[in-house]
Amino acid sequence: MESKKSDDAHVEDFTRPTFFQFNENPQNDLGKPSMTELAQRASEMEHSLSLWQGIKRYRKAVLWSIGFSLAIIMDGYDTAFTATLYAEPSFRRQFGQRYAGGYQITAGWQTLLGITGTVCNMIGVFLDGYVSEWIGRKWVTLASLIILSATIFCQFFAQSLPVLLVGRMMASVPIGVFQASTTTYAAEVCPVVLRGYLTTYVCLCWVIGQFICSGVTDSVSGMTSDWAYKIIFAVQWAWPLPIFGILIWAPESPWWLVRKGKLEKAERSVQRLSDSQTNPKNTVAMMAHTVQLELDADIGSSYWSCFKGNDLRRTEIACMVYGIQALIGNPLQGYSTYFFEQAGLSDSAAFKLNIGNEAISFVGTILAWPLLYFFGRRTVYFGGLTMMTALYFAIGLAAIPPIRNHSADWAQSALLVVYLFVYCPSVGATVYAIVGETGASQLRGKTVALARIFYCIWSIISGTITPYMLNPAAWAWGAKAAFFYGGLSVLCMVWTYFRLPEMKGRTYEEIDILFQRRIPARKFKSEVVDAYGENLDLHTWKEKDATYGASA
């Protein structure tokens, strides 16, 4: 009787949702390996892979992730052409008001078009956190591609600013979905060794979108008809159809399938992402083992769960690294041409330097890959932030001489170009790797979404005050605005040193354990973690073994 009572007590104590039938015996009655054993094999295999082995074994995952990330090209293009349109004469003639013998879009409408687009981006990002957990990463992205294609009609045929505003608002929602879904998908379809490269590739796609916009804008610069700006809108139709044609065949995220208890479908997804040497049952067991431990630790799946317990720390990290990018990384870059002009360069020289900036962005983002390989996320991010801080103060110091001279003007502008080269592989690209792997598996999509929303909020703030800093008719700081951002950079450096952990080479299960143990950020890299030890549970650190069998 006592034994029966004890067994019942054990079952009653374990009342949380499970994917497996837990028992104390590492082997089931048929002698099959337990879920823990299979999961451990998958973890050991992932840790043993070199970069080249990972690419060979998961080349299909690499290709699918690259295809999925193409959606973010439209975000880069959208961001670039919004500002470009204001300089297009035919656009100003159609939508602007007469001013000084020409046409200009009023400052109020420029602000409204910019801010509402960012706000609608935030709505799309927020919705992705919900909808992607409901229907999956793949289908929410496909639906967003269809919606975006429809909204382009509204922009293309708009004859007034209110109609254009509605079109821009509607288009910004699916683009917001892309901002979250691409990073999350890249983080969930590849092994540990490839995670940093495929998530930072999302950033490269954004840069490619900027490049395409520059090329399109240059090609229509000599046109005087309305087609000059209509072509800029129409080019957006070039992307949804081919991307849709790729993604319709893409496998769903196996992590999402495991969280839904669809283990057999998850195995088929892993098969489509890897070669024949990979055992999909082992990989799915590792995912399920991670999800089950998170359930044991009462890690929820709502937005509110991101602000509870240890997940609050994870949300803070994701939001801060993304927020720092908007707070100190983007402000002067977004107004680089204007900055160059206010620094004293001619319009022609300023434009040429800005084109060079885009080339530097491309090269710098690619440079992030070898840096991540040799140094890891924390070192690259903190090191880049340190150099950016020094460059900000150098730019400010170059603006101090009371008598302006040509050499000082070029020095300030050259330092901003160097700053961009430092920013792109560090704070610019590395943030995608950090944000993609910081959240718990149960909350990954929502953590990415919250981080992007935080980024958008700071983008609105910095985008509002930066023009006042640079404009000689407003605060007239000019290049001295770099002192302000340099001061903010110092504060960001302090936060990064004490709060940003190193997660390179860690499985998601190991990252969960490190956060549950409340390991200080500076000790993450050296902390030894045995995710399959005898005394492991995210609640009590006492392991419950399981037989790999039926899905929920």
Alpha carbons 152 and 224: distance in angstroms, whole number: 22
- How many Å apart are CA 386 and CA 389, to the nearest integer? 5
- State the amino acid at position 540 in one-letter form: T
Q: What SS3 state is found at 504?
A: coil
User: Domains of the chain (ranges plus CATH)?
Assistant: 58-249 (1.20.1250.20), 287-525 (1.20.1250.20)
pTM over 0.85: yes
- Average pLDDT taken over every residue of the chain: 85
Confidence of residue 5 (pLDDT cuts 50, 70, 90): very low
Residue 467 has what pLDDT?
A: 73
> Are the beta carbons of 77 and 212 closer than 8 angstroms?
yes
Contact between 312 and 515 (Cβ < 8 Å): no
Q: Find out whether 488 and 328 touch, Cβ atoms under 8 Å.
A: yes
Q: Tell me the pLDDT tens digit for each residue of 491-522.
A: 999 999 999 999 999 999 999 999 999 999 99
pLDDT tens digits, residue range 91-150?
888 888 887 777 878 878 887 888 898 999 999 999 999 999 999 999 999 999 999 999
Q: How far apart are CA 110 and CA 464, in angstroms?
A: 11
Q: What is the pLDDT of residue 340?
A: 56
Instruction: Give the pLDDT band (50/70/90) at residue 345.
Output: low
Q: Would you say residue 490 has pLDDT above 60?
A: yes
452/176 Cα distance (integer angstroms): 9
Cα–Cα distance measured from residue 427 to residue 432, given in angstroms and rounded to the nearest whole number? 9
pLDDT for 31 equals 59
> Which pLDDT belongs to residue 336?
57
Look at residue 521 in the predicted model and tell me its pLDDT. 96
Question: Are the CB atoms for 492 and 327 separated by under 8 Å?
Answer: yes
User: What radius of gyration, in Å, describes the C-alpha atoms of the chain?
Assistant: 25
Backbone torsion region of residue 172, taken as left when φ is above 0, otherwise alpha when ψ lies between -120 and 50, otherwise beta: alpha
Residue 104: enclosing H or E segment and its boundaries? strand 102-104
pLDDT the model gives residue 12: 33
Report helix, strand or coil for 102.
strand
Residue 99, strand partner residues: 102
Work out the average pLDDT over 208-217.
Answer: 86
Position 10 scores a pLDDT of: 35
Q: How open is the CA angle 430-434-436, to the nearest 5 degrees?
A: 115
Task: Look at 445 and 327; give whichever has higher pLDDT.
Answer: 445
Nearest to 204 by CA among 322, 72, 91: 72
Helix (H, G, I), strand (E, B) or coil at 134: helix
pLDDT surpasses 80 at 33: no
Question: pLDDT value at position 93?
Answer: 87
- Res. 544 pLDDT band, cuts 50 70 90: very low
Give the contacts of 487 (CB within 8 A, at least 6 positions apart): none
Q: For residues 10 and 48, which has the higher predicted lDDT (pLDDT)?
A: 48
Nearest residue to 180 (alpha-carbon basis) of 351, 303, 90, 294: 303
> What percent of the chain clears pLDDT 90, i.e. is strictly above it?
59
Decide if pLDDT at 267 tops 80.
yes
pLDDT at 111: 79
Residues 6+ apart with CB under 8 A from 443: 299, 300, 301, 305, 306, 311, 314
- Of 86-90, 406-410, 457-461, 538-542, the range with the lowest mean pLDDT is 538-542
What is the tens place of the pLDDT at every residue in 419-446?
A: 889 999 999 999 999 999 999 999 999 9
User: Could you give the count of Cα atoms lying within 13 Å of 132 in the half-sphere of its Cβ?
Assistant: 35
CA 210 vs. chain centroid, Å, equals 16
What pLDDT band is residue 57 in, cutting at 50, 70 and 90?
A: very high
The answer to whether residue 216 scores a pLDDT higher than 90 is: no
Task: Report the SS3 class of residue 20.
Answer: coil
- Which DSSP symbol is given to 253? P
Mean pLDDT to the nearest integer, 351-368: 81
